[in-house]
Amino acid sequence: MVNNSHFGGFILLGFPGQPQLEMIISGVVFLFYTIALMGNMAIILLPLLDERLQTPMYFFLRNLAILDLCYITNIVPQMLVNVWGKDKKISFGGCAFQLFTDVTLCTVECMLLAVMSYDRFNAVCKPLHYMTIMNPQLSRTLVAMTWGVGVTNCMILSPYAMSLPRCGNHHLDHYFCEISAMVKIACVDTTAMEETLFALCFFIFLTPLLLILVSYGFIAVAVLKIKSAAGRQKAFGTCSSHLIVVSIFYGTVIYMYIQPGNSPSQDEGKLLSIFYSIVTPSLNPLIYTLRNKEFKGAMKRLIGKEKRSLETTGH
């Protein structure tokens, strides 16, 4: 136990009283973290090495990969230190940084997925004008806007959550500094905070989701109008990966934060948090690379180039 009178940080309880479960989860988390590091680094670096991948779609995909790397690295190292070590403490500054970063990156990802659906809409519905519409300046502006919304949302929610009176309670029933867990340990009426959190989550999550659904509605109509089976398959292939990622991310987050009725139980909420904050960033590169012929082609060209270089050096 920690001397609460002299400790200004927090104790991350994780799954208290379940050390075997914690070790199993930490092993799975470490595996997915390794996959996320390798997969997202490949997505970031490969378009820089292959000119054929220097298109708006891969610009947004690269930004998503950077976002996922930051998101998962914000959580996993501290989680593994707490689970594998005896000390489950985190400083107040460390907790604040983790919470601020989590809120910002989660918001940016919601917005970025909507921007990527707009990119796919232009690619499928306006192929002749695609490169003109999605020019580098517009692409950079859209990404900057997603970060602007993310930082603004963070500045509204995070300071309020961190400043709530806790009456000496430092025990966070979670494995990282998550905003709903922070609100739960407050010793004052948090109705106003919970209503603000719900309203912002409703806007931040559902507005981009509506834009995504509208974009894919137009895409579906455009795909059905394509006469050749090969053309339909190509159009579907460019969008299916993004649609899978959107479904996984939004499905989990909506169930977690905006579902009607009762909220998930505490342990269920932790497992859901692990899924959307750790598993999803690991799955994204697998979904995009395994289902993308251009990406696989670029990988083969790079490997072939390296082999030829080695053979030349050997001779």
What pLDDT digit, counting tens, does each position of 141-181 carry?
999 999 999 999 999 888 888 888 888 888 888 888 888 88
Instruction: From 227, 278, 276, select the one nearest 73 (Cα to Cα).
Output: 278
> For the segment 218-230, what is each residue's pLDDT rounded down to a tens digit?
988 888 888 777 7
Quickly state the pLDDT bin for 264 (edges 50, 70, 90).
low
- C-alpha to C-alpha distances, 166 to 7, 10, 163, 189, 241, nearest whole angstrom: 13, 11, 9, 11, 43
Between 34 and 305, residue with greater pLDDT:
34
* 4: pLDDT strictly greater than 60: no
Rounded distance, CA 183 to CA 187, Å?
9
Quick check: 124 and 235 in contact, CB under 8 A?
yes
- Best CA proximity match to 252, nearest among 271, 233, 224: 271
Within 8 A by CB and 6+ apart from 214, the residues are none
Which residues have a Cβ under 8 Å from the Cβ of 196 and sit 6 or more positions away?
A: 156, 157, 160
CA separation for the pair 134, 117 (Å, rounded): 12
- Sheet harboring 89-90: ordered strands across? 89-90, 10-12, 171-172
Q: SS3 for 11?
A: strand
| DSSP H or E run through 89 | strand 89-90
Exposure string over 105-138, b if 16+ CB within 10 A, otherwise e: bbbbbbbbbbbbbbbbbbbbbeeeebeeebeeee
